[in-house]
Amino acid sequence: MPWRDVLQMAWRNIGQARLRFILTCLGVLIAISTLVALVSFGAGLRQQTVENLEVREVFTSFQILGPARAQSFRRFRSPGAENSASSARPVLDQELVGRVAALDGVVSVQPDIRFAVRLENGENAHLTRVRGAGPHVAPLSPYSKITHGRFLSGTEGAEIVLTGRVARRLGFEPAEQAVGKTIQLLTDRLKQDVSDGDLPFETVRLSYQVVGVLPRLLPNQTNPFFRGVVIPLEEARRLWKENASGMTSLSGLSSLEEGRGREYDSIDVRVADLVSLERVREEVRSWGAATFAIVDQMKRIQEAFLVLEVVLGVLGGIAMLVASLGIANVLIISVMERRQVIGIMKAIGGTDRDVRRIFLAEAGLIGFSGGVMGLLAGWTLTRIATVFIDRYFQSNNILNPPDLFAYPLWLVAGAIGFAVGLSLLSGVIPANRASRVDPVQALRQG
Amino acid sequence: MESLRVENLTKDYPMGERVVRALDGVSLEVVPGEFLGVVGRSGSGKSTLLNLLAGLDRPSSGSLWIGDRDLAQMSPDQLAHHRQHTVGMVFQFFHLVPTLTALQNVELPMAFTGLSPGMRSEKAKSLLGDVGLSHRLDHIPSQLSGGEQQRVSIARSLANDPQFLLADEPTGNLDSATGKEILEIFKQLHGEGRTVICVTHEQDLWMECLDRVIELRDGRLFREERPGSSHAAGNGDPGEQ
């Protein structure tokens, strides 16, 4: 009997016991929707993480660490930072920046410049850290997401971009009111002339125009190396050179006093691709410098998500296992009820294989229908959940909340395939029973 | 056209610790185009013989030849092929698939052979027309009378043009007027050259069209008679019937 006729006959048989079919499908629907919702949550988290890391260019960037940063990374057992203790390590200065920039495959090299400042707006004041930023961070989150005002126009000039929180601390309510206003920036500078008993620092006061205010974003939506209040790069470098507030070691302070200039905490290096990343990083490490790249952690992140997805999948799979027992039960009852029809089919030329196929097709159709409906139900459920999650984030002033559920093609195909596969498996025993029905006995009983 | 030859056919059924012998060394030959009646009391082995001829059951011993093929040696698939193409069955209780229409019931044996939907629909309509049911194509069995159901059953048995028509009490569940209508159809089919083997209790009704009658008793061939001739042969007293 051709498959087309087998399917037609199976569909007709299912139609004869509609309520039973609907209830059995409902079991599959619940199982698949649970499985889909759980696995799509795991896939969503993975996608969010990987996409964010991609957006944040972490796959093509690494950091050269100064002694203080290398020590803090070692505390977290970062394998990439292990060779930092070398006494022959290079000093993180402009010369090193130039050396790295000359390497093949390097796109940009920028020292991480940040220091503590006091910002003032009339009566309101706030202590924070500012960073220097060049135009190359403009397309990166969070600077790409500025909703009020704009990003810095260049590497020079008295411009500043605030975060919403800092703007509010400075008395701008709502925060976007800060755009266009001038605020004061106070920072310490090493005195040129220090007389006995005086502190070696003096405070300088500078005026900056607020050109933009950053939206509030989730931590994973921002670049780990660039966030917070920023001023133009060269402006920052000038102030930073004379500023000792961020000094973390006596050697650093003494080098400053001796006029050798200040060593950067770290240098951010961007390369063209993943292959260049390994090559350039290896070269820099051969100079004795410690480096750190998030790509080192990627394997562990992927493994963690795989475990999460497997656990969620197993939970959904248990539900499907229960549903498949329901299918087997329904089909076994169906075989008992339809013994006479099976006998008739065999008496008029149906083979054991034909009978087996009809019952397997019924199991497959139940699985397919339940699988498709379960997929739709799971998708609807997660969409509804997303609406509530979005509302929650928005009520907390978080723009562009992440989509926590993902539906990659493998999940869609896998969910339906899993439902059909397990249903077919649960149909094997009933189908074999049906194929073994003795037509003589079946016809006599009828 | 092939003849049917049964040699020393035996069929045992295990009943717990006991073995019941339903057929006991039956031998007979049916020539092409013959109309054979099989009579006997309940439990005499008539239906068992028919099931063995149809390939629905296997003999315990003996052989059953259609032409040069021994049914006793056939695989399950070969037996299914035999039921598809060589024999057509008509039952006392019609045995139509209750969820299918008359047309779909007649199409079913052709579906098993893989005939295209268009061709089998055309043929099924023609067969139902031949038994006078053109107006009942889309009715399911429960919407048909007993006689109509039996006509559908006959049409279905002819779906794949079998040489042998095996009927098990085809009028046993019908009133006498309807029984006669069914008899007429069988006469017509026999007239077209088909070999018909009919198990019946109603020997008087069928006598006019039978070429030969055999009587089974306790699983054995007890008597053989050719209606219209005074000759009767067998192990028992012909006057008993």
Mean pLDDT of A244-258: 53
d(CA B72, CA B52): 9
Amino acid at B141: P
Banded model confidence at residue A429, pLDDT cuts 50, 70, 90: very high
* Residue that finishes a domain, picked among A296, A317, A332: A296
- DSSP for residue A90: P
d(CA B196, CA B37): 8
- Contact present, A320 and A333 (Cβ < 8 Å): no
Banded model confidence at residue B239, pLDDT cuts 50, 70, 90: very low
Using CB atoms, pick whichever of B76, B89, B114 lies closest to residue A348. B89
- DSSP for residue A262: P
- Contact present, A396 and A53 (Cβ < 8 Å): no
- Sign of torsion over alpha carbons A94, A100, A101, A107: negative
pLDDT at residue A400 above 70?
no
CA A25 to chain CA centroid, Å, is 35
Same domain, A98 and A156: yes
Same domain, A374 and A413: yes
Residue A113, SS3 per DSSP = coil
Using CB atoms, pick whichever of A344, A351, A440 lies closest to residue B51. A440
Mean pLDDT of B69-75: 89
Interface of A with B in 425-444 (CB under 8 A): 439-440, 443
Banded model confidence at residue A84, pLDDT cuts 50, 70, 90: very low
pLDDT at residue A368 above 90?
yes
Q: Which two tokens stand for residue B180?
A: 């006669």
Q: Does B8 touch chain A (CB under 8 A)?
A: no
- Contact present, B234 and B224 (Cβ < 8 Å): yes
- Contact present, A114 and A130 (Cβ < 8 Å): yes
Q: Which two tokens stand for residue A255?
A: 């080098």
Banded model confidence at residue A87, pLDDT cuts 50, 70, 90: low
Q: Largest Cα–Cα distance of chain A, in whole Å?
A: 119
Banded model confidence at residue A406, pLDDT cuts 50, 70, 90: confident
- DSSP for residue A186: E
- Sign of torsion over alpha carbons A81, A85, A87, A93: positive
Owning domain of residue A289: 60-296
Same domain, A393 and A414: yes
**Percentage of chain A lying above the pLDDT 70 cut:** 82
CA–CA min distance B90, chain A (Å)? 10
Q: Which two tokens stand for residue B64?
A: 């059953």
d(CA B190, CA A218): 88
Using CB atoms, pick whichever of A347, A352, A354 lies closest to residue B89. A347
* pLDDT, tens only, A306-349: 888 888 888 878 888 888 888 888 889 888 888 999 999 999 99
Same domain, A272 and A394: no
- Residue-averaged pLDDT of chain A: 82
- For residue B195, what are the β-bridge partners? B164
* Residue that finishes a domain, picked among A236, A269, A296: A296
Which helix (H) or strand (E) segment holds residue A441: the answer is helix A439-445
Please report, to the nearest 10 degrees, the dihedral formed by the alpha carbons of residues B81, B83, B88, B93 taken in order: -150
d(CA B56, CA B95): 15
Same domain, A318 and A436: yes
Q: Does A12 touch chain B (CB under 8 A)?
A: yes
Same domain, A283 and A145: yes
d(CA B237, CA A200): 141
d(CA A108, CA B127): 86
Q: Does B31 touch chain A (CB under 8 A)?
A: no
Angle at A282 between CA A275 and CA A260, to 5 degrees: 125
Same domain, A229 and A314: no
| Cβ <8 Å between B109 and A344 | no
**Residue pairs spanning A and B at CB distance below 8 A:** 70
Which helix (H) or strand (E) segment holds residue A13: the answer is helix A3-16
* pLDDT, tens only, A167-177: 999 999 888 89
Banded model confidence at residue A247, pLDDT cuts 50, 70, 90: low
* Chain A contact set for B112 (CB, 8 A): 1, 345, 348-351, 354
Per the structure, the count of domains in chain A is: 2
Quote the pLDDT of residue A53: 67
Quote the pLDDT of residue B238: 40
* DSSP string computed for A208-255: EEEEEEEPP--GGGS-SSS-SEEEEHHHHHHHHHH--TT---HHHHHH
* Chain A contact set for B89 (CB, 8 A): 347-348
Same domain, A202 and A328: no
| Cβ <8 Å between A351 and B113 | no
If phi over 0 gives left and psi between -120 and 50 gives alpha, with beta otherwise, what is residue B8? left
d(CA A34, CA A90): 55
| Cβ <8 Å between A446 and B99 | no
Same domain, A323 and A242: no
Same domain, A274 and A406: no
d(CA A154, CA A232): 6
* Residue that finishes a domain, picked among A274, A296, A318: A296
Same domain, A376 and A433: yes
Q: Around Cβ A107, how many Cβ atoms within 10 Å?
A: 15
| Cβ <8 Å between B56 and A354 | no
User: A64-73, A349-358, A387-396, B155-164 — which is least confidently predicted?
Assistant: A64-73
| Cβ <8 Å between B95 and A352 | no
| Cβ <8 Å between B80 and A346 | yes
Banded model confidence at residue B105, pLDDT cuts 50, 70, 90: very high
CA–CA min distance B114, chain A (Å)? 5
Interface of B with A in 92-121 (CB under 8 A): 93, 95-100, 108-109, 111-114, 117
* pLDDT, tens only, A263-287: 787 888 888 887 888 899 889 988 8
pLDDT at residue A81 above 60?
no
- Contact present, A332 and A430 (Cβ < 8 Å): yes
Q: Which two tokens stand for residue A438?
A: 């003795």
The more confidently predicted of residues A146 and B138 is B138
Same domain, A91 and A227: yes
- Contact present, A152 and A232 (Cβ < 8 Å): yes
d(CA A260, CA A255): 5
CA nearest neighbour of A233 among A144, A142, A147, A161: A161
CA nearest neighbour of A393 among A231, A236, A220: A220
Quote the pLDDT of residue B241: 35
| Cβ <8 Å between B109 and A349 | yes
